[in-house]
Structure 1
Amino acid sequence: MIGKGKAIAHTQASMAYGWNQEKDAEIVYRELLVGDDPREITKEFEMIQEQNVNCEKNTLSFVLSPAIEDGQKLNNKELGKITEAFIKEMKLQEHQAIAFVHKDKEHKHVHLYVNRIDFEGKAYNDQFVGKRSQQAAERVAQEMNLTTARERQEEKLLNLRITRNQIMEKHQQVMRERPRDLNTYMKGMQKQGVEVKPYINKSKELQGFRFVYKGQNLKGSEVNRAMSGSKIVKGIYQAPSRSKHINPIQAVKIASQIVQLNPAIVKTLANKVVSKVISASKDRGIEY
């Protein structure tokens, strides 16, 4: 479960969003309040907040997001218990509070609003409230056997690593077939289920590629160093079977359009050509 929190000044507007019926909003927690709509609840907050006119951001807004698979199993009563446990972890039990669940999307989540001012007129310390919200949500998730933010991050990283390896394997398979140009390479990757998106910079130059696969959209260099723009172009246009390219290419054809290469790619290709020329000359006994 992920927890987010901040102090806000626009109480009624935020609470109206939390109580939005278009998002299938339902109240899952209420403490020290009797109002039946955002305007009435805001008025109740304001009655207490009038005791501390120096505090401008006088409402605390939290979002509690269980993992998707956890959210699918949790009913409103259980979400209320989670919210109550979170409030105790944040030491806000003596403050007015109301929470709504949003179920309009696959990712069920709770919007919680707490009066920052207590009944004695004292403002709750909001220093590092975002970080403390994360930590409180982590502890509640552990206590209630829910997926923690750390576990979600580890799972996300594992899935990303698997996806990167799969894209790299498909790239290597297509390159082994020696595509004659970028269009052939992109079609080969498409057959493997990977969409290749050329990245054209503001100067209308090809700078690299992005790879879309299984919901991930990654730069080539994020997949593997061997999949940077310069290395892919070099692998296709300066392969051993295409040694006729003595000079580095300046542009390539993508679909039916001629696209100039980014200077950094051209420079990399030029360095490779120079290295080949020097190596070939040495083989013939010519020294520099």
Structure 2
Amino acid sequence: MIGKGQSISRTQASIAYGWNQEKEAEVVLKQYLAGDTPEEITDEFKIIQSQNDRCIKNTLSFVVSPTIKDGKNLNHQDLEMIAQRFIKEMDLKNHQAIGFVHKDKEHTHIHIYANRISLKGEVYKDNFIGKRSQIAADNVAKQLGLTRVREVQHEKLQELKWHRLAIKHVNNTVMETRPKSLDEYIKNMKACNVKVILSINKSNQLQGFRFEYQGVNLKGSEVDRSMSGSKLIASITQNNGYQKSRDAPKTLKLINSTVQLSTNMANKIAKDLAKQVIKRGLDAGMGY
């Protein structure tokens, strides 16, 4: 089961989407609410939200998705239980909330909207809400004996084992040529039919890499732990003669632009660079 979450400001439009009868919507959660239409629910949200008018994104939006196989076997009561336990895991028992199940597609899923302002007027902290939603959904799946996201990921990686091995082999071959720039690495990978895709966030910061081969698209860490963004960049950095963590780059130059590294990525590169320097020193000392 997968969980996604974010803070939003478009309360009524989102609740109206959740209540869309064309999607065979069913209400599976109603907490501290009495209304029977999106407009009435929104007005009830606004009454509580008026206690803190400084919070702009004052509604929380979640999507909880069981696997297709699990979804086919879940009845209305089961889906109510999932919604209730998810709200509990997210520590939103003191907040207004409404949840709808959509069955218009093969993949049954639940939309949950919660008031970010509690009944006491406190603002719910939304730091890392996406990651916390994933953890909450995984905990609920574990409690109810449903398929967990890590099981789905493991199954997917097993099915793509051959593709992963092929991409890893190409990466090893390219890295043996000691590319001195990310452009060179990407060009050499492409020559071997592996497309390197940069994962760049809205702030134009590099967060990692994805690799596409024969129609399969995987994160570097899904291919192999050694192919995470920080480890690859640390290796390419060393090919330029940099030997200390303070030499770790903060930006990377591509053909047509300069990409800044996210703080998390830059810190990981510095650590990986230091580890590689230590390893090479030990290997040299042992006569390798």
Over 3 Å counting, the alpha-carbon distance change for 1:155 and 1:26 in structure 2 is same
Q: Sequence identity, in percent?
A: 56
Q: Secondary structure at the match of 1:44?
A: helix
Offset of residue 219 of structure 1:
2.5
For residue 284 of structure 1, what is the aligned residue in structure 2?
A: none
For residue 89 of structure 1, what is the aligned residue in structure 2?
A: 89
1:170-224 deviations in Å (ceiling 9; x for gaps): xxxxxxxxxxxxxxxxxxxxxxxxxxxxxxxxxxxx97879xxxxxxx634969x
Match for 1:219 among 213, 218, 223? 213
For residue 173 of structure 1, what is the aligned residue in structure 2?
A: none
Instruction: Give the distance between the partners of 2:215 and 2:191, measured in 1 at CA.
Output: 12
Over 3 Å counting, the alpha-carbon distance change for 1:146 and 1:222 in structure 2 is closer
For residue 36 of structure 2, what is the aligned residue in structure 1?
A: 36
Q: Secondary structure at the match of 1:54?
A: coil
Instruction: Give the distance between the partners of 1:221 and 1:27, measured in 2 at CA.
Output: 39
Instruction: Give the distance between the partners of 2:110 and 2:215, measured in 1 at CA.
Output: 37
1:7-35 deviations in Å (ceiling 9; x for gaps): 10000011111111111111011111111
Offset of residue 94 of structure 1:
1.1
Whether 1:63 aligns to 2:63 is: yes
For residue 11 of structure 2, what is the aligned residue in structure 1?
A: 11
TM-score w.r.t. the length of structure 2 is 0.58
The aligned runs of 1:2-151 (5 Å cut-off) are: 2-151=2-151
Over 3 Å counting, the alpha-carbon distance change for 1:120 and 1:129 in structure 2 is same
CA radius of gyration, larger in:
1
Q: Secondary structure at the match of 1:29?
A: strand
Instruction: Give the distance between the partners of 1:48 and 1:164, measured in 2 at CA.
Output: 51
Q: Secondary structure at the match of 2:5?
A: strand
Instruction: Give the distance between the partners of 2:215 and 2:112, measured in 1 at CA.
Output: 40
Instruction: Give the distance between the partners of 1:36 and 1:116, measured in 2 at CA.
Output: 20
Q: Secondary structure at the match of 2:104?
A: coil
Instruction: Give the distance between the partners of 1:2 and 1:163, measured in 2 at CA.
Output: 24
1:93-121 deviations in Å (ceiling 9; x for gaps): 11110000000111000000000101111
TM-score w.r.t. the length of structure 1 is 0.58
C-alpha RMSD over aligned residues: 2.5
Instruction: Give the distance between the partners of 2:141 and 2:123, measured in 1 at CA.
Output: 27
Aligned length: 178
Instruction: Give the distance between the partners of 2:64 and 2:215, measured in 1 at CA.
Output: 34
Instruction: Give the distance between the partners of 2:113 and 2:107, measured in 1 at CA.
Output: 19
Instruction: Give the distance between the partners of 2:99 and 2:192, measured in 1 at CA.
Output: 46
Over 3 Å counting, the alpha-carbon distance change for 1:221 and 1:130 in structure 2 is closer
Q: Secondary structure at the match of 2:160?
A: helix
Structure 2 residue runs without a partner (length 5+): 166-189, 195-211, 218-288
For residue 253 of structure 2, what is the aligned residue in structure 1?
A: none
8 Å contact kept, 2:67–2:147: yes
Over 3 Å counting, the alpha-carbon distance change for 1:158 and 1:53 in structure 2 is same
Over 3 Å counting, the alpha-carbon distance change for 1:53 and 1:164 in structure 2 is closer
Offset of residue 76 of structure 1:
1.3
Structure 1 residue runs without a partner (length 5+): 166-205, 211-217, 224-288
Instruction: Give the distance between the partners of 1:220 and 1:85, measured in 2 at CA.
Output: 40
1:134-165 deviations in Å (ceiling 9; x for gaps): 11111111111000111111111111225779
8 Å contact kept, 1:208–1:220: no
Instruction: Give the distance between the partners of 2:79 and 2:85, measured in 1 at CA.
Output: 10
8 Å contact kept, 2:163–2:216: no
Instruction: Give the distance between the partners of 2:124 and 2:84, measured in 1 at CA.
Output: 17
Q: Secondary structure at the match of 1:36?
A: coil
The aligned runs of 1:119-268 (5 Å cut-off) are: 119-161=119-161, 219-220=213-214
Over 3 Å counting, the alpha-carbon distance change for 1:163 and 1:83 in structure 2 is same
Q: Secondary structure at the match of 1:139?
A: helix
